[in-house]
Structure 1
Amino acid sequence: MSVTNQFMTNVTVDVNQGILERMVFSAVTTLPCCVFLFINVTMLFTLRSKPVFCETSRYVLLYNLLFADTVQMALSQVLYLIAACRLILTYPVCGFLTLLASLTTTISPLTLLVMSLERYVAVCYPLRHTTIITIRNTGVAIVVIWAFSSLNILTRVLLLLEFPFKDLESLQMQEICSDRTMSIGPRSNDYDRAFICVLFVSAGVAVSFSHFGVIIAARSASTDKASARKALNTLLLHLVQLCLILFSTIFSPLLMALSGILTRIVFVRFYTCLYICVSLFPRCLSSLIYGIRDQTIRPVLMQHLCCRLTPKV
């Protein structure tokens, strides 16, 4: 499901691209990636800096989401640079990188699903929220998320075993590493499409259900209007995040179609901008959303971003 290098697989190898040009485009993508990684890592450190963050379910879920997004962002950039530098990997190394990227890509929408349901319970069932959404139940939900994502990886590995690797003269790949080149089993592509469809439809239904449930609850006289309004905004942002993650997963076929229309240099520039906006930026969106909107996180995060790790007395 990683899209960071699928364009490079089809274009970079076939084009006599200059070293300077490759360095420029690599630097253009690496700089914002490093900025986003710094923000995410600082946010992760912030969510472990105070007991309130470790003892509140939504902050624990946020940590899980940010961890997966941070790993995914780093892997995306690594795969992008490998493709830009035209490095040919072996099947085991490429398989490890792409499967790890697939694992973290699956965790993000599932965590957004659970976070949306948590906001739904907080608004619609405020008296039962503390008994339903406990740290223990949150931990169980995170374990289920990772187990389900790992099951997907196990299934993809079993599908890879259908390919006769023993007949190859060498495990060295002939193409640049990507999900497409690792879909070498006859049923891998069909499975990937079906899994993506089920995953994002399920997450979209859950987030939409939570959103409309909160809208209905907000009309009740007994509901805290300010809390409901804040939950609605959060759920709307979750829906936007989900759409961006989905688009970053499926926009590669669109780019392949455009590659035959645009000139190479125009297409590379277009892809680079789209890669930063659609693949990298959504992975930093959670840090920006909660870092700006959440009154508990914001002062601590700003303190850490300014490298003032020790608060003044």
Structure 2
Amino acid sequence: MAKNSTQSALGMNIPAVQYLRLLNARVLVVQALVCIFLYVNCLMIFTFFKKEAFRNNVRYILFAHTLFCDTLFLIISDALLLMSFSGTTVPVGLCMVIYAISGLLNFATPLTLTAMCLERYVAICMPLRHAEISTRRRAIYCIFVIHAVSSIQQFIIFFMVVSSSPLSLYSIYLYCSVENLLVVKWQQNVRSAMSQLYFLAMSVTIAFTYIKIMAAARAASSDNQTSTAKGLRTVLLHAFQMTLGLIMLWLPLIEMAVMEVNLHAFIELRYFDYITFILAPRCLCPLVYGLRDKQFVLVLKYYFLYAFYKKVAPVKKPFKSRI
């Protein structure tokens, strides 16, 4: 009877025991990946705070901000994944808070990548004003603006849920996901429209910076060709990473449609989406940005080997970033 009920619930043709083993194996794979990514991110954040030269450079400040946001987002999303696999439910009010924080962090990373592209545009296309514009204070102001813009959608979703839900809703326990909070079709449409608006604005900004840097590359002298080419590659890599991250904004709509057709396909799709569009973009940032910088990698290698590597050259100001 247990076997038949499990197959009926999941729409699968495998025994319940085999399914549970497969589920546990997938949970272990995810936990291994999350632990690796969290270790690398935390090590890079530690490296950033250990050197004053990094703390005073706008590029590294924004880079550390993406690491911090990605680390918190990975922790929250992994906790939600474990709760989903274990069947744990939470009060609606707590779920709203968790989703608000998760959504803010999710949007903060692509917005920060967009700001990093603008910083490269200023450095290459406006080199005489770069030192004036790209200051530590303005980088901090930029981070505040990023979080303010990221919170707009979360405030709107919070208002939609509160204004259309009875007070009795907050005493209900449910599986914490945005699909369970936005049960009305028009609320899902508003969320989707705002996500597309974010995506359009950031895509236009990155395309603008790429076109401007490409024009500067054609007009640059041979001495500046190398720096400009690196700037182009950096913008392209940021665009690729941002695209992976923003695809997840469309995932709820796709997953909801698949769930109505086949629950087994929905489970498989959600697992694939989590690995590809949530974990992967969060590991690309340190690999794409941090490990391409020779000064940062040199210091990172020192702390990675617990100070046994003695060939680390001191990082002095000023220095030229290889990003």
State the TM-score, normalizing by the size of structure 2.
0.84
Report deviation, 1:236: 0.3
C-alpha distance in 2, partners of 1:13/1:297? 54
**SS of residue in 1 equivalent to 2:249:** helix
Q: Are the aligned partners of 2:255 and 2:269 in contact in 1 as well (CA < 8 Å)?
A: no
Report deviation, 1:72: 1.2
| Aligned residues with identical type, % of pairs | 29
- Tell me the equivalent position of 1:272: 271
C-alpha distance in 1, partners of 2:207/2:31? 34
Report deviation, 1:210: 0.5
Rg larger for: 2
Q: Which runs of 5+ in 1 are unaligned?
A: 1-10
What amino acid is aligned across from residue 228 of structure 2 in structure 1?
A: A
C-alpha distance in 2, partners of 1:167/1:232? 54
**SS of residue in 2 equivalent to 1:249:** coil
Q: 1:76 to 1:144 in 2, by over 3 A?
A: same
C-alpha distance in 1, partners of 2:250/2:191? 11
What amino acid is aligned across from residue 202 of structure 2 in structure 1?
A: A
Report deviation, 1:126: 0.9
Q: Are 2:228 and 1:225 equivalent residues in the alignment?
A: no
Q: Are 2:260 and 1:244 equivalent residues in the alignment?
A: no
State the TM-score, normalizing by the size of structure 1.
0.87
What amino acid is aligned across from residue 239 of structure 2 in structure 1?
A: L
* Structure that is richer in helix per residue: 2
**SS of residue in 1 equivalent to 2:127:** coil
Give the number of aligned pairs.
300
Q: 1:134 to 1:86 in 2, by over 3 A?
A: same
- Tell me the equivalent position of 1:158: 159
With a CA cutoff of 8 Å and minimum separation of 6, indicate the structure with the bigger relative contact order: 1
Q: 1:150 to 1:238 in 2, by over 3 A?
A: same
After superposition, give the CA deviation of every residue in 1:188-226 in whole Å (9 maximum; x if it has no partner). Answer: 323211210111111111111101100000011447111
After superposition, give the CA deviation of every residue in 1:146-165 in whole Å (9 maximum; x if it has no partner). Answer: 12223332222222211333
What amino acid is aligned across from residue 21 of structure 1 in structure 2?
A: L
Q: Are the aligned partners of 2:125 and 2:212 in contact in 1 as well (CA < 8 Å)?
A: yes
Report deviation, 1:166: 2.0
RMSD of the TM alignment (CA)?
2.7
Q: 1:293 to 1:176 in 2, by over 3 A?
A: same
- Tell me the equivalent position of 2:181: 182
Q: Are 2:271 and 1:283 equivalent residues in the alignment?
A: no
- Tell me the equivalent position of 2:44: 43
- Tell me the equivalent position of 1:302: 301
Structure 1 residue ranges (4+ consecutive) displaced by more than 6 angstroms after TM superposition: 260-263
